[in-house]
Structure 1
Amino acid sequence: MATVLHAVLGYFLLLFTVRILRRRAGAQMTMFEFVLIFLIGGIIIISTVGNDRSVTNCTCAVIVVGFMHRALAYAKSKSPRVGAIVDGSPVMVIRKGEWQQEIIYRTGLRREDIEAAARGIGVTRIEDIDYAVVERNGHISVIKK
């Protein structure tokens, strides 16, 4: 019964923390935000099924991680360099209609990925793409010619 109670308390603590820290949809999250969610979830799992089942320790750990997240988010807002290190930066894979082969190779993208993003905005031919950018959250933005 204690495990179930810890799981319920952990669920509401995680829900409350995520609600306070960020209001973005999951598809728009950066890697920084996914790490935060997984870390907090891991803390709650450990407090639920681990040897130390202290709700106080779990709550303190989640609060510390939340404060770390806020401090790093503040640093990102003050320094674009910190933001680029933590979240990455957008990468242009098609520039003025030309494929950037080196960048495509480094990102591990396939032609089909860009074609799928293009179809999402109504572009049926790859030749009609002027720019394609892989955003920080992994979404591919396509701009028609």
Structure 2
Amino acid sequence: MPQQGERMGAVALSTVLRAVFGYYFLVLVVRVVGRRPGKQLTPFEFVLIFFLGGLMLTGIVANEMSLTNAVCQILAISVAHYILVWVRKKSPRVSRILDGTPLILMEGGFWRERTLHKMRISKPDVMAVGRDQGMKNFDEMGTVTLERNGEMSIVPAEGKGK
């Protein structure tokens, strides 16, 4: 009859092996489903990544049947994601709904206050991005756009570029 310590060791080893399997499985699934550079991930894709990780976690910390369920759930969500990406690619309307559209925050020296307020972005936030691009004040900024991926892009004002 196995002793308590041996059984605990077997359970720990089983959990470690499931974790390693889960890691490699998720890397494979994310690679097959598609990838973009980190700064280009949309909120939709962040949700997918965290969701898949949560499903796999269930399979790692629970029993063997949970690992099988987690793998099946991840495969189902991955297929659903692939179909949604395909529909998004074929339909600009679906793409706008899922990814949003770029928003102008400042243009020609004039702020779009309503857009700033709605997106909860402050002017100091915009200036911080401008400083990263070597700008010292707002006068050097021509157009500031909040891109679909959440990044801000700044086009220098006419005659003020580097």
Residue 39 (1) aligns with residue 54 (2): no
Correspondent of 2:36 among 24, 28, 33: 24
Aligned to 2:18: 6
**TM-score if structure 2 supplies the norm length?**
0.84
Aligned to 2:6: none
How many residues in Structure 1 have an aligned counterpart in Structure 2? 145
CA RMSD between the two structures: 1.4
Q: CA deviation at 1:53?
A: 4.1
Q: What are the ranges of 5 or more consecutive residues in structure 2 without an aligned counterpart?
A: 1-12, 158-162
Q: Which whole-Å CA distance do the structure 1 matches of 2:20 and 2:63 have between them?
A: 18
Give the letter aligned to residue 53 of structure 2: G
Q: Which whole-Å CA distance do the structure 2 matches of 1:96 and 1:50 have between them?
A: 58
Secondary structure at the aligned position of 1:122 is classed as coil
Q: Which whole-Å CA distance do the structure 2 matches of 1:94 and 1:4 have between them?
A: 51
Correspondent of 1:119 among 120, 131, 140: 131
Rate the CA distance shift 1:56–1:143 in 2: closer, same or farther, 3 A. Answer: same
Q: Which whole-Å CA distance do the structure 2 matches of 1:76 and 1:47 have between them?
A: 30
Q: Which has the higher contact order (CA 8 A, sep 6+)?
A: 1
Q: What are the ranges of 5 or more consecutive residues in structure 1 without an aligned counterpart?
A: none
**TM-score if structure 1 supplies the norm length?**
0.93
Q: Which whole-Å CA distance do the structure 2 matches of 1:49 and 1:80 have between them?
A: 41
Q: CA deviation at 1:42?
A: 0.6
Percent identity between matched residues is 36
Correspondent of 1:141 among 153, 156, 159: 153
Aligned to 1:63: 75
